[in-house]
Amino acid sequence: MICKDRMSMGTDIVNINRIKKIISEKKSRFYDKIFTVKEIEYISNGGHKYTTIAGIFAAKEAISKVLGTGIGSVGWKEIEILHCASGKPYVNLINKGKEKLEELGLDSIEISISHEEDYALAFAIGYRSNNINIKIDDSIKKLLPRRSRDSHKGTYGRVAVIGGSRGMVGAPYLTSMAALRTGTGLVYSIVPKSLENIMSIKLTEVIVKSAEDKNKGYFTKDSLSDILEGIEGMDAIAIGPGIGADKERTYLTEEIINNYKGPIVIDADGINCLSINPDILYKRDQPIIITPHPGELGRFLGISTKEIQENRIYYSKYTSEKYNIIVALKGANTVVASPKNEIYINATGNPGMATAGSGDLLTGIIASFIGQGLIPIDAAKLGVFCHGLAGDLASIYKGEHGVIATDILENIPYSIKKIQE
Ligand SMILES: NC(=O)C1=CN([C@@H]2O[C@H](COP(=O)(O)OP(=O)(O)OC[C@H]3O[C@@H](n4cnc5c(N)ncnc54)[C@H](O)[C@@H]3O)[C@@H](O)[C@H]2O)[C@@H](O)CC1
Ligand SMILES: Nc1ncnc2c1ncn2[C@@H]1O[C@H](COP(=O)(O)OP(=O)(O)O)[C@@H](O)[C@H]1O
Ligand SMILES: [Mg+2]
């Protein structure tokens, strides 16, 4: 059976006197059988110490246990123990050893060797790293906001997420957490009052604010003043995930667009509400980014999803120019279009991301980058790249069938680290 675990361990203990005895009886046969040329060179340079020989011997046994074979189908000389200049041992697998490691889905083996009086001991761990073979263009790398030493949470922006309705608390949860994981200093989640308690339990680091909902479980026109108060002083806001769409929520969305004087990321039901009267966008001079999936852009433009999918670049450009907004049209190869005729086609992401809530994360990532000071088009480009890469990293461990939005959320930090490398 092939074991596809992320980690595999092996250990071995060797009596040094046993090694001493073998060497005194048949040194050259023992060396020839067990050690590679490089290992013999190392042992010889160290004065043929029994402790060294026993340690390397134990290390090979320990590694054969990591590989699950024992010494046999993988030979002694197919597991080589080498040493860094500092003296730290490392593992070089050869032929069958290498093949077995790949078969197990492991990337590398770490080894530690020790000895005391009569015994030498080795401990080995085989692991699968979150390495992904991707060349990240400098044009993306340079967009990542830097963090200065004497900074504080206020340095990295205040972002508010307006979202949620009864049954859809997950959407604003994911958006808020994504903003936090992307590096925003302070994230606020503004939800209908009936959801305040449950959101406060779900969210630890995010500050929860609520808006009057008259016990309905969704935003109504009565929510407006609380929302406007809640978004005062924010560097960026996101609106839409899980809010639902009706006349009152359309009124709310429009009033927020009319009154808030900073950049807004609009997603999901926010886009559905906006599609009733998109002309309000003409009155606005502050940036708007919409992040529709093809179904939402189709609704917004009054055309079919199929038509959008067949002309993704065209409709992204068209919407961006017509309404003077940035459009991130999601799906395989997300298209980002700006009114300045800029087009960016994202290469990260995979079908594992076709899972509920993965788009809600993107909304939070883009809002976060804007809150940290990026201009909206750069935030959108870096945002879709980072989001797709988080999805790619999540798929390494969970596979495309098993990935859920929480896995993508948890991989945002690793995605950012990878961009930073
Ligand atoms: N846990 C939660 O609370 C969640 C809440 N959600 C909220 O649920 C509400 C409804 O959003 P939905 O997007 O589910 O429903 P929609 O009815 O807006 O869109 C779903 C449909 O859009 C089309 N579509 C989407 N992506 C496509 C693609 N790449 N190619 C072709 N067609 C595509 C498909 O026809 C799909 O069935 C939103 O407010 C959203 O924020 C979702 O985000 C899922 C998670
Ligand atoms: N086949 C795919 N390849 C790459 N990315 C995908 C694929 N399917 C979905 N995604 C990404 O997953 C996200 C889905 O967003 P969305 O449809 O809004 O989901 P939700 O509303 O459930 O959060 C988008 O960012 C989209 O680009
Ligand atoms: Mg969505």
Helix axes 376-402, 358-371, angle to 10 degrees: 150
Q: Which of 262, 281, 261 is nearest to 270 (CA)?
A: 281
One domain for residues 403 and 254: yes
For residue 213, is it within any domain? yes
272 marked as part of a ligand binding site: no
CA distances from 304 to 268, 372, 418 (A): 17, 36, 37
Q: Is the pLDDT of residue 6 over 90?
A: no
Lowest mean pLDDT among 58-62, 135-139, 353-357: 135-139
Count of other CB atoms within 10 angstroms of residue 251: 16
Out of 92, 127, 162, a domain closes at 127
Using 50, 70 and 90 to split pLDDT, how confident is the model at 326? very high
Strands 158-162 and 207-211: unpaired
Q: Separation of 350 CA from ligand 1 center, angstroms?
A: 17
Residue nearest to atom 12 of ligand 1 (CA): 268
Residue 312 in contact with ligand 2 by CB distance below 6 A = no
CATH of the domain at 144: 3.40.1190.20
**Three-state secondary-structure class, residue 12:** strand
pLDDT value for 4? 46
Burial of 335 by CB count in 10 Å (0-12 exposed, 13-18 middle, 19+ buried)? buried
One domain for residues 104 and 181: no
Burial of 93 by CB count in 10 Å (0-12 exposed, 13-18 middle, 19+ buried)? buried
Residue nearest to atom 8 of ligand 2 (CA): 354
One domain for residues 206 and 58: no
One domain for residues 73 and 156: no
Mean pLDDT of the residues in the chain: 95
Amino acid type, 165: S
Contact in structure between 276 and 302 (CB atoms under 8 Å): no
Long-range contacts of 331-339 (CB under 8 A, 24+ apart): 331/293, 331/294, 334/384, 334/388, 336/377, 336/380, 336/381, 336/384, 337/313, 338/377, 338/380
One domain for residues 120 and 146: no
Q: Is the pLDDT of residue 133 over 90?
A: no
**Looking at the 3D structure of the chain, how many domains does it have?**
2
Which tokens hold the place of 382?
A: 């870096």
Domain membership of residue 283 as a residue range: 138-420
Q: What are phi and psi of 344, to 5 degrees?
A: -130, 130
One domain for residues 388 and 240: yes
How far apart are alpha carbons 330 and 381 in whole angstroms?
12
**Residue among 168, 218, 306, 335 whose CB has most ligand 1 atoms within 8 A, to mutate:** 168
Beta bridge partners of 186: 158
Rg of the Cα atoms in the chain: 29
One domain for residues 320 and 363: yes
DSSP codes joined into one string, 387-418: HHHHHHHHHHHHHHHH--HHHHHHHHHHHHHH
Contact in structure between 298 and 304 (CB atoms under 8 Å): yes
Contact in structure between 314 and 297 (CB atoms under 8 Å): no
How far apart are alpha carbons 174 and 353 in whole angstroms?
14
Q: Separation of 354 CA from ligand 2 center, angstroms?
A: 5
Contact in structure between 75 and 139 (CB atoms under 8 Å): no
One domain for residues 237 and 283: yes
pLDDT value for 128? 79
Give the pLDDT confidence of 241-278 residue by residue, as tens digits: 999 999 999 999 999 999 999 999 999 999 999 999 99
Residue 296 in contact with ligand 2 by CB distance below 6 A = no
How far apart are alpha carbons 331 and 10 in whole angstroms?
43
How far apart are alpha carbons 403 and 407 in whole angstroms?
6
As annotated, the active-site residues are: 65, 115
Contact in structure between 164 and 241 (CB atoms under 8 Å): yes
Using 50, 70 and 90 to split pLDDT, how confident is the model at 130? low
Residues with a beta carbon under 5 angstroms from ion ligand 3:
268, 359
Residue nearest to atom 13 of ligand 2 (CA): 359
Q: Separation of 9 CA from ligand 3 center, angstroms?
A: 42
One domain for residues 88 and 147: no
How far apart are alpha carbons 335 and 313 in whole angstroms?
7
Residue nearest to atom 1 of ligand 2 (CA): 351
Give the pLDDT confidence of 271-311 residue by residue, as tens digits: 999 999 999 999 898 999 999 999 999 999 999 999 999 99
One domain for residues 106 and 147: no
One domain for residues 20 and 78: yes
pLDDT value for 393? 94
Q: Separation of 355 CA from ligand 2 center, angstroms?
A: 7
One domain for residues 80 and 145: no
Give the pLDDT confidence of 193-251 residue by residue, as tens digits: 999 999 999 999 999 999 999 999 999 999 999 999 999 999 999 999 999 999 999 99
Q: Separation of 268 CA from ligand 3 center, angstroms?
A: 5
Instruction: Quote the ipTM score.
Output: 0.97
pLDDT value for 89? 97
333 marked as part of a ligand binding site: yes
Lowest mean pLDDT among 43-57, 117-131, 395-409: 117-131
**Residue among 293, 348, 387 whose CB has most ligand 2 atoms within 8 A, to mutate:** 293
pLDDT value for 354? 98
Residue 276 neighbours by CB under 8 Å, 6+ apart: 250
How far apart are alpha carbons 335 and 328 in whole angstroms?
6
Q: Which of 249, 243, 191 is nearest to 360 (CA)?
A: 243
pLDDT value for 397? 83
CATH of the domain at 118: 3.90.470.20
Residue 167 in contact with ligand 2 by CB distance below 6 A = no
How far apart are alpha carbons 252 and 130 in whole angstroms?
43
**Residue among 330, 348, 393 whose CB has most ligand 2 atoms within 8 A, to mutate:** 330
171 marked as part of a ligand binding site: yes
Place of tokens 């298209």: 335
Give the pLDDT confidence of 77-102 residue by residue, as tens digits: 999 999 999 999 999 999 999 999 98
